A and B are shown apart, each in its own frame.
Chain A
Amino acid sequence: MKYQSRIAVLLVLMLTLSLLFGCTQATPPASPSEPASPSEPAETEQPADTSITVTDMTGKEITLDEPATRVVALTASDCEILFAIGAGDTLVGRGEYCDYPAEVLEVPAVQSGANTNLEQVIDLEPQVLLMSTMAQTEEQVAALEAAGIKVVVSDADDIAGVYENVKLIGKLMNKDAEAEAVIENMKSTFDDISAKATGDGTKTVYFEVSPLQYGLWTAGSNTFMNEICEMLGLKNAFADVDGWGEISEEQVLERNPDYIVTITMYFGEGPTPEEEIIARTGWEGVTAVQNNAILNLQNNELSRPAPRLADGAQLMFDFVYGENAQ
């Protein structure tokens, strides 16, 4: 008897709970069927009230009643952009791999990708969640939107895309001027180095993403590295590879690059990435190795769609054309 009544209590509890869940799902988040101005919402601003309407990079329209003050960013580059436009203090949660600037690490991590802890995200009560198409699954977006969080998706695969994303985030945070400044800053760095770069596209660069021990991975065309390489008047040795790919060691030897840029991390043990490349058997004949023209960029300057691409480009410019250049 006692046992049965316990079961009854449990059942009632479950029913009530399911009712509760049913309720949250029944109330749709800000109805997307009434957009402010369907034609060009990203451009229009409504100074009359504080509401903000943007179109994210997947073409989805998002309306905020007021500029966001609590933001969760799952992508490292979005965190970097937030801090670059001076909105770092709004960040209340971050993706697992967000690590720049150092302050980001003090913000609670909510994991990334398929493992994103949705409950934790919802508990942080952000108005906006920033993620990239890479980290996104439709189920996650639907769950977050059902919880009333606006999901803004970025999809920057070139420098122009980074500008767009900076502008987008600037608008969400009501920091348009700061965002413009960041973009201008990037543009002036890029303009400056491409004006000064004297290369005629004959010298080749080989980008090494993972060292020989784990199989060589490189960045081919349609990557930021390729774009910056062209900006510097250089040629990507693996421009025929689309995106990132694992390549054969003998291909590197055959293509004999003039410069090597490696983004391998160095954990403070054994040889540094530069030393390791120089020490490889068979690589003695590679021009870059003979001239010691190897650059190690290990802080993701060139691999993230963020304002620091300009820093990476500057470092590469100094490496190729600077005073100590070979």
Chain B
Amino acid sequence: MKQASEHFRFWEYIAFIAVMFATLVLCVSVGSVSVPFENTLTIIKNTIFGLPIPGDISSPAIISASRLPRVICVALVGASLSLCGGAMQGLLKNPLADGSTLGVSSGVALGAIIAIAFNITIPSLPFAGTIVTAILFAFFSLFIILSLAYKLDYSLSTNTIILIGIIYSMFVNSVMSIVITFASDKLKHITFWTMGSLSGSSYQNALLLFTTLIICSAIILSHGRELNAFAVGEENAMHIGVNVKRVKLVILITVSVLIGVCVSIGGTIGFVGLVTPHIVRMLVGPNHRRLLPASLFGGATFLMLADLVARTLLKPLELPIGVVTSFIGAILFIFIFYKTRSARG
């Protein structure tokens, strides 16, 4: 076995980006309605350069207004969730860490449901109320989980956080049921929201996701070295001069912002953040300075492919994307788990 490099090497960046773009092209050209590949290219090229679309291409909006923004949003959500998963797994030294095990996803969902049930809106910006409330709840959830964890255990040990995260999720789920019982007239709204959908994603969604991802990934990726130290052990990290508490706080807050935005746009999509880092770890090794960028591109690729299956398997019907990710993800996860265990033993 060759010695893995400390950094994510240039050619590796090129390779991962190439695979991601190839997937993007595949996902934009294949869909529920079949559009010839040349037409797809022309539509995209002409939309980008603002040229008029030739009249012989029927309904260009299928590509430019529906499929392209959706695929882009899916890629960005996949990248964000996987990056979060990778960072959480390193930080908490726990292979099961993910936005959902931390309780942030549930918190976000509760925020969105409360916004829907009690009609929290921002005048003139419909639906923004849901997103803002959801992000606030992500912070709020994190604040509760962390302060409880601090009370129990000043060093914020990983077990405490995971335990409190799971208890918090359960508590939040029961609160959600109570809210839903009281707001039964909005049940349809709420049910659809919790099922999550990236269909109807717009370029505005993509821009919001992209901006958040750029800022948050810059913060997370710059902490790769500290995460490596955490992976060996918190005490070890402290001994080699890592400001353990500060790094933890920074990463946790960044992760919750990223998850807050993703969940409020696409709903809760399970297993992406959990599985992708495990898959790419097999490819690039456990070093976070390599693992995190690889998770970013790998997550985008994985979720785009899952979305492709969701869109085309039963066309004209669509499957909820979470069903596909959980189905593929659970099987992959067991496979990887067994493989790494038997390799070790």
Contact = CB atoms under 8 A, between A and B. Distances in A.
Given A251-B32, A265-B188, A241 B316 contact: yes
A215 B320 CA distance: 9
B216 to A, nearest CB: 24
Given A213-B127, A214-B193, A248-B315, A281 B32 contact: no
Interface stretch (B59-67, B81-89, B234-242, B252-260): B59-67
Nearest to B123: A269
Contacts of A254: 33, 59, 62
Interface in B304-333: 311, 315-320
B228 interface: no
Contacts of A97: 184
B121 interface: yes
Interface in B249-269: none
B127 A248 contact: no
B39 interface: no
B160 interface: no
Given A215-B199, A270-B126, A256 B61 contact: no
A245 interface: yes
B340 interface: no
B192 interface: yes
A269 B120 CA distance: 10
Contacts of A265: 188-189
Contact of B318 (A248, A269, A284): A248
Interface of B: 31-33, 59, 61-62, 64-67, 70, 119, 121, 126-127, 184, 186, 188-189, 192-193, 195, 197, 199-200, 202-203, 311, 315-320
B195 A282 contact: no
A282 B318 contact: no
Interface in A260-274: 265, 267, 269-271
A248 B32 contact: yes
A216 interface: yes
Contacts of A245: 316-317
Contacts of A283: 61, 65
B66 A250 contact: yes
Nearest to A211: B200
A213 B70 CA distance: 12
Contacts of A284: 61
Nearest to A215: B197
A216 B201 CA distance: 12
A224 interface: no
State the 4 A-B residue pairs at the shortest beta-carbon distance, nearest first: A282-B65, A270-B126, A214-B192, A282-B61
Interface of A (DSSP majority class) = loop
A42 B59 CA distance: 54
A79 to B, nearest CB: 16
A283 B65 CA distance: 8
Contact of B126 (A240, A248, A269, A281): A269
A248 B199 contact: yes
Interface string A196-239: 00000000000000111111100000000000000000000010
A96 interface: yes
A215 B32 contact: no
Contacts of B184: 96-97
Nearest to B124: A270
Contacts of A249: 66, 70, 199-200
A253 B121 contact: no
14 contacts: A210-B192, A246-B317, A248-B32, A248-B317, A249-B70, A250-B62, A251-B316, A253-B59, A253-B61, A267-B186, A270-B121, A280-B65, A281-B61, A283-B65
Contacts of B193: 214
A215 B126 contact: no
A210 B191 CA distance: 11
A38 interface: no
A174 to B, nearest CB: 33
A270 B129 CA distance: 11
A43 B261 CA distance: 61
A285 interface: yes
Given A238-B316, A248-B31, A254-B59, A282 B197 contact: no
B61 A248 contact: no
Given A248-B31, A250-B32, A270-B126, A214 B315 contact: no
Nearest to A96: B184
A247 B318 contact: yes
Nearest to B63: A250
A240 B65 contact: no
